[in-house]
C-alpha cells in the first residue's frame, strides 16, 4: 500500500484509493486534487447514474446531483443506481442513499430541481466541472450557456440506441455545444437506448472529468468521440469553434 505522505488524506482514503495512487503522474497529489474538487452531475438517469457511481469511487470530494424526476420501471434497464424498490422515489434521493454507503469519505448532496435558464447559474456556480447527463436539448443548452459564461468545463455525453457521443467543452479553448448543435435539432421521445450504452459513455465522461481535474493526458476538446456498439468501434470528428456562435463566438 502507498504510504501516507500528507495530512489531507486519511489512512482510510490512502487505502481506499491505493490502486489509482499507483498510477504514474497521479499519486497523492492527484488524489488531493480530486478531494478538493466540486463536480456537478446534471441528471440522474442512465448517464448520471454511472458517472456519479465512478466519480464517487474515485474520491471526488464534493458531488452535487441534480434531477427533477422520480424512478420509473422503464428506467431500470440502464439507470443502475435505481432499483425496483426505488420506483416512485425521487432519483436524487435514491442515488444519494446508495452513493453514501458506497463511499462515506466524500460529501454528496443533491437537489430535486428542474434545471432551466433561470436557476442554472446558481446551481452550478463554484463547480470545478459539470457533467452533462441530460436527455433533452433545452436543458443541455442552458447548461452550456451557463458554463461558458461562468468559465466552467462541461463534459457532454449523449446516447441513442447502440451509439454514444462524447465532447469536452472548455470555455475559451474549444467549441461549445452551440458550435456543433443547431438550436432547432429534432428530438425523439422516449429515446431508444440499449442499457449498456450510457454506461460506456458515462465512464468516458468520468475519465475526462478526472483527467481535467488532475491535469493528466489529452482531453477530448475540439473533437467528438463517437462510439458504435453495433460495429464495436470508435471514431471521431473534428469540431470547429464558430466565430458567430451566439454563446461563445467572438464579440
In the chain, % of residues over pLDDT 70:
96
Q: Would you say residue 5 has pLDDT above 60?
A: no
Q: For residues 115 and 145, what is the distance between their CA atoms, to the nearest angstrom?
A: 12
Tell me: the pLDDT tens digits for 159-186? 999 999 999 999 999 999 999 998 877 7
CB 131 within 8 A of CB 66: no
- Over the stretch 34-71, which tens digit does the pLDDT of each residue have? 999 999 999 999 999 999 999 999 999 999 999 999 99
**Buried b / exposed e along 38-56 (16+ C-beta atoms within 10 A):** bbbbbbbbbbbbbbbbbbb
For the chain, the domains span 11-238
Q: What's the pLDDT tens digit per position in 131-160?
A: 999 999 999 999 999 999 999 999 999 999
Q: Does 6 have pLDDT greater than 50?
A: no
What residues pair up with 42 in beta bridges, in sequence order? 66, 132
Which set of grid coordinates corresponds to residue 27?
Answer: 499519486
> Given the DSSP bridges, would you call strands 129-132 and 107-112 parallel, antiparallel or unpaired?
unpaired
pTM of the model: 0.94
| CATH class of the region 11-238 | alpha beta
Amino acid at each position: 500500500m502507498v504510504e501516507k505522505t500528507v495530512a489531507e488524506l486519511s489512512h482510510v482514503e490512502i487505502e481506499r484509493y491505493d490502486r489509482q495512487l499507483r498510477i504514474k503522474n497521479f499519486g497523492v497529489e492527484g488524489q488531493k486534487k480530486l478531494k478538493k474538487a466540486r463536480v456537478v452531475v446534471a441528471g440522474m438517469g442512465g448517464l448520471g447514474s454511472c458517472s456519479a457511481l465512478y466519480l464517487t469511487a474515485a474520491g471526488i470530494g464534493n458531488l452535487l446531483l441534480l434531477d427533477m424526476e422520480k424512478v420509473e420501471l422503464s428506467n431500470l434497464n440502464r439507470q443502475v443506481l435505481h432499483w425496483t424498490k426505488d420506483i416512485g422515489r425521487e432519483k436524487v434521493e435514491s442515488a444519494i442513499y446508495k452513493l453514501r454507503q458506497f463511499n462515506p469519505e466524500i460529501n454528496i448532496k443533491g437537489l430535486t430541481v428542474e434545471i432551466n435558464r433561470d436557476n442554472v447559474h446558481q446551481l452550478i456556480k463554484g463547480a470545478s466541472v459539470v457533467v452533462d447527463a441530460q436527455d433533452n436539448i433545452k436543458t443541455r443548452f442552458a447548461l452550456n450557456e451557463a458554463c461558458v459564461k461562468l468559465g466552467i468545463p462541461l463534459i457532454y455525453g449523449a446516447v441513442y440506441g447502440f451509439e454514444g457521443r462524447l465532447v469536452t467543452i472548455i470555455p475559451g479553448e474549444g467549441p461549445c455545444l452551440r458550435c456543433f448543435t443547431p438550436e432547432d435539432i429534432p428530438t425523439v421521445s422516449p429515446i431508444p437506448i440499449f442499457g449498456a450504452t450510457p454506461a460506456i459513455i458515462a465512464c468516458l465522461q468520468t475519465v475526462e472529468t478526472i483527467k481535467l481535474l488532475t491535469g493528466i493526458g489529452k482531453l477530448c476538446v475540439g473533437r467528438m468521440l463517437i462510439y458504435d456498439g453495433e460495429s464495436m468501434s470508435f471514431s471521431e470528428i473534428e469540431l470547429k469553434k464558430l466565430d458567430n456562435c451566439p454563446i461563445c463566438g467572438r464579440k
